[in-house]
Amino acid sequence: MKVNIHEVCPRDGFQSMPAFDKDTKVKIINRLVKCGFHELEVTSFVSPRAVPQLKDADEVISEIDRSQPVTLRALVPNERGLERAHALGIKKLKLMLSGSDSHSLYNANATTFDALERYRSVVKKATTYNINMTGSIAVAFGCPYEGDLPVKRHEEICDKYEQLGITKVSLADTTGMGNPHNVSKILRHLMKSFPHFTFTIHLHNTRGMAFANALAALEEGVKDFDSSTGGIGGCPYAPNASGNIATEDLVHGFEEMGIDTGVNLDRVLDVARYLEDIFPDQVDSFLLKAGKAKSLHKAPGRQRIK
């Protein structure tokens, strides 16, 4: 079995850390492009006032290594973001959308459906630029303000996306409120109602449930997974949001189960160590602490008790 790993550290990770310099960002991305990811989410073209950590997005993208066979994608909240992405030759974009009105009002100053309506012109323009658009649903497995979202809500959002011509949607557990049971329930329902859609799952490990949730999604047939090297990430518009599932933990877990990720785990671990050197308080990764399960230790021999 083969799955696709989408690395999101340069967007989810960078936006959740204290601002740092452009050259370091370029250096991190240039290491990530060589790890074998299916896609790399390189930034979010948001207003620098909203997310000052990404204010140098345009300069960063214009300096990174574009020679590697990895699809670069970015998040956009509006037409202005689309124009910036187009000017930089980004060919895959993800629309930012919250599944609940409370989170959406805080995040985008509009209800979920008003925000979706505003995307109509963005998608239309993206088509003329030959840019591949995908959708997202943040807080899909629990909203910190409203709790669980009824699956009808996901259905209505997917219907709207389909009307816009979008059939690839990322479901995000933005604040790690999901559990394998509701992840399965929602995915089973959506995959039955929208069999022609491709769903990506975007997991945060806020409550230690991310790998279990990834397995639940895998069992429902999901093949596309977001993760962040070093487990760094968060959401500026949600209380207690913390890191994404660490890429090295997700890849290691899948590979241990015989599932091919196409990712070079040693390279990912090198980047994670580099991140740990710069941001020791932000990195959260089981594999960095414990090493690979198959890295055996030399047997110490019989215990000598004095």
In angstroms, rounded to a whole number, what is the distance separating the alpha carbons of residues 126 and 133?
Answer: 7
284 in contact with Zn ion (CB under 5 A) = no
In angstroms, rounded to a whole number, what is the distance separating the alpha carbons of residues 264 and 70?
Answer: 13
Span from 10-18, 71-79, 90-98, 298-306 in contact with Zn ion (CB under 5 A): 10-18
Residue with tokens 């088509």: 127
In angstroms, rounded to a whole number, what is the distance separating the alpha carbons of residues 36 and 69?
Answer: 8
- Are 158 and 169 in contact, with CB atoms under 8 Å apart? yes
- Are 227 and 247 in contact, with CB atoms under 8 Å apart? yes
Site string for Zn ion, 217-256 (x = CB under 5 A): ----------------------------------------
Q: Which two tokens stand for residue 45?
A: 């073209």
9-35 per-residue burial string, b: 16 or more CB within 10 A, e: under 16: bbbbbbbbbeeeeeeebbbbbebbbeb
Closest distance between Zn ion and the C-beta of residue 165, in Å?
25
Closest distance between Zn ion and the C-beta of residue 172, in Å?
6
173 in contact with Zn ion (CB under 5 A) = no
12 in contact with Zn ion (CB under 5 A) = yes
Residue from 54, 114, 53 nearest 78 by CA: 114
Q: Which is nearer to Zn ion, 86 or 139 (CB)?
A: 139
Closest distance between Zn ion and the C-beta of residue 298, in Å?
40
Give yes or no: 9 in active site. Answer: no
Q: Which is nearer to Zn ion, 12 or 39 (CB)?
A: 12
Q: How many positions of this chain bind Zn ion (CB under 5 A)?
A: 1
Which residue is closest to Zn ion by CB? 12
Span from 6-14, 18-26, 144-152, 183-191 in contact with Zn ion (CB under 5 A): 6-14
Residues involved in catalysis: 235
Give the footprint of Zn ion on this chain (CB under 5 A). 12
